[in-house]
Amino acid sequence: MGNLCVCMGGSAKCASASTPFQSKVNPRSSTSNSNSKASRRSSSGPEKPPQPAEAPTAAGEAQAVPPASLKSFSMADLRAATKNFGSTSYLGEGGFGCVYKGWIDETTLAPARPGATNAMMVAIKKLKKESFQGHREWLTEVTYLGDLHHENLVKLVGYCSDSDSNKLLVYEYMPRGSLENHLFRRGSQPPLPWSTRVSVAVDVARGLAFLHSRDVIFRDLKSSNVLLGPDHRAKLSDFGLARAGPTGGKTHVSTRVVGTRGYAAPEYVATGHLSAKSDVYGFGVVLLELMTGRRALDEARGVASELLVDWAMPMLQGERRKVIRVMDTRLGGQYPKRQAQDMAALALRCLQNDPKTRPSMADDVLPSLELLLQPTTAKSTSSSSTTTSSRSPAASATTPVHRGHRRQKA
């Protein structure tokens, strides 16, 4: 679930769901748009997902009916499935609560013994009870994920909402965990190879393109919300901040500002104007993370370059791009130089200051990335890699990126 990390200053994660985006710790975080009005967009056809309100009231929440396709679990079911939410079932914790692994029968969805025939593993997210906004995100997640199905979106199996205010979500289990862990956790596990990073980027682009085709803005794209399956196929998770895109020819919706510092688009932080192009900016940041192995926000890098965008941009722009200098050293040079240049050029376009000039996910970003998946017989420019690629349209993107954005949001 989105960490509701409205904190653009300080930590990229915040446990407090009620912290306004612009007021958290860092005095450089000043935005002017905390009072955007809640809006409800009515569904305009059977293809559209239900559109939850920006801020459902208690009454609205009571009226919301989760899709029938989702299983309604009791708390007793989920206790049984997770060994009473014991430490051996613990998977991790995000802004809104802990995640546990559990076992349920794949046919009846009843709690099952670990390893039993027909038992399947699930991930169960248990929201902290005290968070009203957590409840709002829970509702948004159930509403969207109950309706939207795609191979690059994590599958929601069911939910629990009981009279005791327990709110839980039951997802398919993603055995390789988050992209964030793979890119940044310095452990014994080998670094993700370049080819896997490219295919993860393609999967994420496919997930976003699908959402945008359904007029849904994800709003919380970041590497911790990209989960990996057994074969490293990637899926988007955490739809708590998702919302309906603009209608009637409008370019954006006005919202309160939520998201995660380091990933949020500058115009959104500055004005609360949200569009699909806000997701495109976040995607550009994830591309940089895949290339560099560096976090979107790392205060240890010092104020001037704590944001990955600020650190990487000077080396990626202009005639004399120095893509090699930003690349993850854990790759050991094992990547086609041309592919790295293409991905850098695409990231730059996604990170344009003006949202109108950012590429669209479906028409531009996805085809550009898919070209990187296709090996060709052309000779690679890399001295260290054997893989080659065709030249993608991304490589010809030379539009300069304006860098004045960070000052206003951070």
Residues forming the active site: 220
Closest distance of CB 217 from ligand ATP, Å: 17
Asked whether the beta carbons of 122 and 171 are under 8 A apart, the reply is: yes
Q: According to the binding rule CB under 6 A, does residue 94 interact with ligand ATP?
A: yes
Rounded to the nearest 5 degrees, what angle is found at the Cα of 108, between the Cα atoms of 100 and 207? 55
Closest distance of CB 45 from ligand ATP, Å: 30
203 CB-near residues (< 8 Å, 6+ apart): 152, 233, 234, 235
Q: Which is nearer to ligand ATP, 3 or 339 (CB)?
A: 3
Q: According to the binding rule CB under 6 A, does residue 178 interact with ligand ATP?
A: yes
Token pair 């809640």 is found at 38
Closest distance of CB 283 from Mg ion, Å: 16
In the chain, the amino acid numbered 160 is C
Q: How many CA atoms lie within 13 A of 203 on its CB side?
A: 26
Binding residues for ligand ATP, rule CB under 6 A, total: 25
**Sign of the CA dihedral running 398, 399, 403, 406:** negative
How far apart (Å, rounded) are the C-alpha atoms in residues 97 and 115?
Answer: 26
Rounded to the nearest 5 degrees, what angle is found at the Cα of 311, between the Cα atoms of 257 and 315? 130
Q: Which is nearer to ligand ATP, 224 or 292 (CB)?
A: 224
Closest distance of CB 170 from ligand ATP, Å: 9
x/- contact string, 312-341, with ligand ATP (CB under 6 A)? ------------------------------
Q: According to the binding rule CB under 6 A, does residue 2 interact with ligand ATP?
A: yes
Candidates 10, 60, 177, 246; binder of ligand ATP (CB under 6 A) is 177
- The helix (run of H) or strand (run of E) holding residue 105 is strand 97-105
Residue 332 tokens read as: 């050991």
Strands (E) located in 250-340? 253-254, 273-274
Candidates 53, 99, 204, 346; binder of ligand ATP (CB under 6 A) is 99
x/- contact string, 235-274, with ligand ATP (CB under 6 A)? --xx------------------------------------
Interactions with Mg ion, residue window 74-103 (CB under 5 A): 94
41 CB-near residues (< 8 Å, 6+ apart): 51, 244, 247, 253
Token pair 């790295």 is found at 340
Sole window of 45-53, 97-105, 205-213, 222-230 interacting with Mg ion (rule: CB under 5 A):
222-230
Interactions with ligand ATP, residue window 209-238 (CB under 6 A): 224-225, 227, 237-238
Candidates 238, 267, 289, 306; binder of Mg ion (CB under 5 A) is 238
Measured from the Cβ of residue 9, the count of other Cβ atoms closer than 10 Å reads: 19
Closest distance of CB 220 from ligand ATP, Å: 7
Candidates 199, 225, 380, 392; binder of Mg ion (CB under 5 A) is 225
Q: In the complex, which residue's CB is closest to ligand ATP? A: 94
How far apart (Å, rounded) are the C-alpha atoms in residues 47 and 147?
Answer: 10
If contact means CB under 5 to 8 A according to the sort of partner, which of Mg ion, ligand ATP, none does residue 13 touch? Answer: ligand ATP
Q: Which is nearer to ligand ATP, 5 or 327 (CB)?
A: 5
Closest distance of CB 126 from ligand ATP, Å: 10
Rg (CA), the chain: 21
Residue 167 backbone dihedrals phi, psi, to 5 degrees? -130, 120
Sole window of 50-58, 172-180, 286-294, 344-352 interacting with ligand ATP (rule: CB under 6 A):
172-180
Token pair 């590497």 is found at 223
Residue 274 tokens read as: 């949200």
Quick one: 185 exposed, middle or buried, by C-beta within 10 A (0-12, 13-18, 19+)? Answer: exposed
How far apart (Å, rounded) are the C-alpha atoms in residues 192 and 406?
Answer: 29
Closest distance of CB 211 from ligand ATP, Å: 17
Fill in the DSSP letter of residue 306.
S
Closest distance of CB 229 from ligand ATP, Å: 9
Q: Please report, for the chain, how many H helices and E strands are present, in that order.
A: 12, 12
Q: Which is nearer to ligand ATP, 82 or 237 (CB)?
A: 237
Which residues contribute to the site for Mg ion (CB under 5 A)? 94, 224-225, 238
The binding site for ligand ATP (CB under 6 A) comprises: 1-3, 5, 13, 91-96, 99, 123, 125, 154, 171, 173-174, 177-178, 224-225, 227, 237-238
